[in-house]
Amino acid sequence: MLASIVSFIHAFLLGFIALGIYDFKNQWLCIRVLACYRRSFLCLSIMTMLGTFAYAAEPTNSNQSNSLDATSVEPASSPAKLPIKKSKKTTRKPKQTPKVFICPVPVDTLSVEPITPENPNNPEQPDSALLEKAQEQRDNIGEYFIEKAEDLDYFFSRRVWTEPNESKLQLDIGEIFRKDGDRETIARIRAKLDLPSTQYHLRLFFDTDSDDRKTLEQQSLDTLRQNSIGKESSEGGLELLSNEIDSWKFRNRLGLKSGGLKPFYKFTARRELDVEEPWSGQFKQEFIYYEEQDWRSNTTFNIGENFRKNKYRGAVSQIQFFDLDDTFAFSQTFSISEDKGELRSIVYSVGTFGSSEPKVQFNDYFISVAYRQPLYKKWCFLRLSQDVVFPRYDSHRPNPAFAVQMEILFTE
């Protein structure tokens, strides 16, 4: 299985280089990525696979590739030959007869079958075979992941769980284009192995870019994320889900952080607000302890309503406290989201960020638009984010940024 996956990734890497996707500065993106991120071969290989998916998912123009010019078709009885020109002064060798396409059937009865994703048997459509191969590899990885989760669940509990396993495996990868031409590659792998048969409902988790170590700005805006490749940002450990008590849900996490295997602990309490429809709300309190950063707390309160069909408007308030330097940060966001059907959605947001240093004040303002739609079936998604931040340190001048992100879900 591992050899198959590695061969698959290498094959797509070669396809990406041959494809030659053009970037904004008239240079080949594959060459720039190889030059800038050659130390992160795994990230590049997966990005190659995603770029190939996007190219393969584009519909082929069948009118250009399969159309026949009736003026160039002659009867099948004898191929056409060009006449030999003679000169009175000199004798020239006759020109070679050009190759002419001979239509095997009358033109008026010829029909060209369009190339569509629903016609994978068309020999002129290699993209369908490519997508089917990608689908097969994705399914194999997901099934293997779920199978291992079920094996671990049986190993710890000695019981067979009849319900579907809720383990998750997701890959996010993309590019951020910032002001003055700066760009940065971002990547994230999230895994959760569900062990529902265990006595305390345990879960094993792994995250290469955990939100617990991010600022409120980085949690709210995709374009403010930073490249986590090669940094000490990965976390993994054990999660315990407690039974619900008086509408409160509790969760405990204990694990290790990369870069010296430093331990951390996280406690989360969550409660749904008792409000009348169409309103809904939630309160969440988190306490997080890191060995090198002491402990911090995150308080989140959100409320909203469905005011029209497939539309939702809401407000989110957050406060983040740091015990190490006795400071806190806060944010306020207002958003309107719309479900456009077929797994497509768009979110419009406006908000502000503040802190207690050097004094309590709002520092930055922002507006944001995020669009998400499926690229292929229900497991490959494209996310586009356009953010404009007005920071205080830059006299509130606009600082735009654009993020392109691909999401691959290996499990349902």
- 299-308 per-position pLDDT tens digit: 999 999 999 8
Band (169; pLDDT cuts 50, 70, 90): very high
Quote the pTM value: 0.67
Q: Looking at residues 243-255, what average pLDDT do you find? A: 92
Buried b / exposed e over 107-141, threshold 16 CB at 10 Å, is eeeeeeeebeeeeeebeebebbebbeebeebbeeb
* Stretch 321-332: mean pLDDT: 92
On the 0-12 / 13-18 / 19+ scale of CB atoms within 10 A, 337 is: middle
- Residue 105 above 70 pLDDT? no
pLDDT given for residue 232 in this prediction? 66
Confidence at residue 389, expressed as pLDDT on a 0 to 100 scale: 96
Q: What is the mean pLDDT of residues 301-318?
A: 94
Whole-number pLDDT of residue 168? 96
Buried (b) or exposed (e) across 266-300, using 16+ Cβ within 10 A?
bebebbeeeeeeeebbeeeebebebeeeeebebeb
Name the CATH code of domain 134-409 (choices 2.40.160.40, 1.20.140.10, 3.40.50.300, 3.90.230.10).
2.40.160.40
For 341-388, the pLDDT digits (tens) are 989 999 999 999 999 988 899 999 999 999 999 999 999 999 999 999
